[in-house]
A and B are shown apart, each in its own frame.
Chain A
């Protein structure tokens, strides 16, 4: 009898305690800033911590709550974020890739227009125009970019090129295909690829290289179709590039993909510049010696960017703190705290160049060059909204599997209209 009553009593007690603790979290939320991101990897985690520390120092009494969710290059974090946004329980600021990845949030009224912050902080003058164009949605600005990554890069090992007697990395994809013949005859893999998204990343760089930046932008703006002759020719080049890659035994992730290049079993790999900090920090390979990198074929002078940005959600508990956080994200100090640790460059063109050494120094120089043409990445959410991007994933998966190029082009064109 007693035992039973004790059990019931303790159950009641536990539930009351559980309820109390939930109530407590809600109650204590007034002096804190909850920032949601997927920055949990090496480098980026330290960068976020440094910014958090600076934020707490500048705002005494405010606690910075790091609500980072790890895994799947942000895909897990995005799923959890979607459920929070649907439940109208947003964090005080959350991470998105800059560009059309934010379109759904904007159209659904989940984020505030912060164009005034851009004017007030003078950001319209310090961010390059190409970046601002890609950030603007329906004529307004909704997110503050903290960093810039470059997607159109081709990694290689200088020693492998010397061994094969190749003078320089290819300047066009046609040249690459010619080199590929030689490389294959010597028993090496011309191009290493990884999982599906890296194949999409490759598609994006081939399209950019073959079509040029203007047509590339018009393709994703829906002004030229996927079945037009230019795009058809570019897709045919992609199919041929894929055919000389190791797609049949593709690496499980992007790190083993670039490992193959570093080890010398494959010659080239197209990857974003996060691979650079991986090779330098984790693999201890110095730039220009252990590995080298050039713009992917046909994209010299073009900067295919992606950027992590932060937002001001509708219904944030402390919008005043959120705005302070966004100001830090856009400030020279904030960007200089974060980027050297993460291995990316600041979005601002007036940040201290001395902090960025090796590859990053070269990247920053290119980013600041007024002659550089800036375009947005497809795979990393700049030029296509989430729905379109996911439909391209499906279509590309089938294309890689069955090689039916005409069907891929038709599906991509149809899905563009379906997802606008």
Chain B
């Protein structure tokens, strides 16, 4: 087919620059949101099935009496939740989880913030230190736990090992601790040590990025106005770090609520460092209590939602403004 036979083309003015086939805007089929929806639909479907579908399934199982290898979906109402409420192990787990979260999150935030501040002041070889602080995050929690299991060994006499041995060697015997095996109700706080060791570098990276985001001109003008470095930090840098702090807090809290592998490998079956996620695993896969496991998972989900919900609400509100 040539252009000559086409009346449409012949009527157009001849131009060398005109493309042979003119690209016309495609005709819009259906409403404007359809292509967009089509574009995101694969991920929507996948998330719908693999996240929300299974989530719903899990909630359904928590209302059933499924035990062992024969699934059962008989409706039992809230009885799994009420028996969990009276479950002594679960109560201890919740308490442990709260202690762990508070100590670990506060510790990781403070330490990360402190390291970021030091780096921000400009040390020589900053890249090196940044790497060193971040490296622990590259190690899997299982490996971290195996190493710290030895570091936090509480053997005495000839069996002294790990940190306690180090303390004894440098004459700091009074620092000797039973760590996570101590009789105290706060034993799980010791686990914040390896967890904080692994993740404070990450918090540092977040804070460092936040600090670097504060424009130098702001600091300069503050200096011109006669502000001291402390005042600059308090009145200029600190407010700018608020969103970063908020994100870091949120990320740490939800990591803390989900912590499993670290505790699993550190001291299996020690109820002083037991948490709901561990109980969920053991009761489901050792005992076959799928109903109870699903109930614990649902309670954990609600716990995480309590943390994430306000955050989502807050960001949506600020973005709209």
Contacts and interface: CB of A to CB of B under 8 A. Distances in A.
The dominant DSSP class at the B interface is loop
Interface string A80-115: 001001100000000000000000110111100000
Contact of B285 (A82, A250, A397): A82
A407 to B, nearest CB: 8
Contacts of A263: 158
Interface in B124-174: 149-150, 153-159
Contacts of A195: 267-270
Contacts of A104: 68-69, 288
Interface string B273-303: 0100001011101111100000000000000
A390 interface: yes
The dominant DSSP class at the A interface is helix
Contacts of B267: 195, 252
Contacts of B178: 248-249
Interface residues of A, number: 38
Given A197-B269, A387-B287, A401-B271, A394 B158 contact: no
Nearest to A187: B157
A261 to B, nearest CB: 11
B88 A398 contact: yes
A107 B70 contact: yes
Contacts of A248: 154, 178, 181, 183
A86 B271 contact: no
Contact of B155 (A109, A249, A389, A398): A249
Given A187-B157, A249-B156, A252-B149, A393 B68 contact: no
Contacts of B71: 86
Given A196-B269, A393-B282, A82 B88 contact: no
Contacts of A105: 69
A121 interface: no
A386 B70 contact: no
A160 B292 CA distance: 48
Nearest to B69: A108
Interface in A291-319: none
B274 A82 contact: no
A391 interface: yes
A398 B274 CA distance: 11
Contacts of A21: none
Interface in A224-280: 246, 248-252, 260, 263-265
Interface in B30-79: 67-71
Contacts of B159: 246, 249, 260, 265
Nearest to A80: B285
A197 B282 CA distance: 13
A263 B71 CA distance: 49
A86 B154 contact: no
11 contacts: A82-B288, A187-B157, A249-B159, A250-B181, A252-B153, A386-B288, A387-B67, A387-B287, A389-B286, A393-B286, A394-B89
Interface of B: 67-71, 88-89, 92, 149-150, 153-159, 178, 181, 183, 267-272, 274, 279, 281-283, 285-289
Interface of A: 72, 75, 78-79, 82, 85-86, 104-105, 107-110, 187, 195-197, 246, 248-252, 260, 263-265, 386-387, 389-391, 393-394, 397-398, 400-401
Given A195-B268, A387-B289, A401-B272, 10 more contacts: A78-B286, A82-B69, A104-B68, A108-B70, A195-B267, A248-B154, A249-B154, A386-B286, A390-B286, A397-B269
